[in-house]
Chains A and B, each alone.
Chain A
Amino acid sequence: AQSVAQPEDQVNVAEGNPLTVKCTYSVSGNPYLFWYVQYPNRGLQFLLKYITGDNLVKGSYGFEAEFNKSQTSFHLKKPSALVSDSALYFCAVRDKTNDYKLSFGAGTTVTVRA
């Protein structure tokens, strides 16, 4: 079975400071990892994904994520957070088998204060 865990329900940072949202995964094979962001009353917006190759993945809105196989982690990062980054962030995983669905973490609410 595949799963991801987001250990923090909430992350609070000041604007301009670095932002990190943590995610660890558990899959039987090679993971395909995704980050999505959800603004209030909106759908899920795709930020970035890791499939293979470079462990540092760059995505939308200045976000990046680092795949770490030894620590089974895929943390989302942004060097300088903006107030507009305040939202709910979901990590998701698919494994390499013929399994199309995404399994989501519980989500992390990010609040960036001015």
Chain B
Amino acid sequence: AAGVIQSPRHLIKEKRETATLKCYPIPRHDTVYWYQQGPGQDPQFLISFYEKMQSDKGSIPDRFSAQQFSDYHSELNMSSLELGDSALYFCASSPIGSGLSTDTQYFGPGTRLTVL
């Protein structure tokens, strides 16, 4: 079965650089979520999109922005990177349905970002 695809899988950047993470949801999934997992921590919600519109926002720094495109893939743009941004970034998608809050989120393998 098709899964959520994230690219790149690994990314190394210097402080103050920018990074773009991409997420391709499972086919026919229209909702995308981004989470950040720091070392030894639980995933923290950043932002989500439903039908290409931002649906919810969590603890996402102002230096980060995201969008969902017409083909439902999403990109997380990160600027002025800081050492503390080093983390595993997960994308998850959930299927089209009437009960949005009950839908299961399926996670991608993550992008490991290292800021030096």
Query: What residues make up the interface of A, taking CB atoms closer than 8 Å to B?
Result: 32, 34, 36, 42-46, 49, 51, 90, 94-107
Listed from nearest, the 3 A-B pairs whose CB atoms lie closest are A101-B45, A104-B42, A44-B107
Residues of B within 8 A of A99 (CB): 56, 101
User: Across the interface, do B43 and A100 meet the contact criterion of CB distance under 8 Å?
Assistant: no
Q: Which residues from 26 to 65 on chain B have a C-beta closer than 8 Å to any C-beta of chain A?
A: 31, 33, 35, 41-45, 48, 50, 55-56, 58
Whether A43 pairs with B109 at a CB distance below 8 angstroms is: yes
Give chain A nearest CB distance to B58 CB in angstroms.
6
Q: How many chain B residues touch the partner (CB < 8 A)?
A: 26
Residue from B31, B42, B56, B90 with most neighbouring chain A CB atoms (10 Å):
B42
Residues of B within 8 A of A (CB): 4, 31, 33, 35, 41-45, 48, 50, 55-56, 58, 90, 92, 100-102, 104-110
User: Could you count the A-B residue pairs with CB atoms below 8 Å apart for me: how many are there?
Assistant: 61
Q: How far is the CA of A88 from the CA of B51 in the complex (A)?
A: 32
In the assembled complex, how far is the CB of residue B114 from the closest CB belonging to chain A, in whole angstroms? 14
- Determine if B33 and A101 form an interchain contact, defined as CB atoms under 8 angstroms apart: yes
Nearest-Cβ distance from residue B39 to partner chain A, whole angstroms: 12
**A100 and B42 contacting across the interface, CB-CB below 8 Å:** no
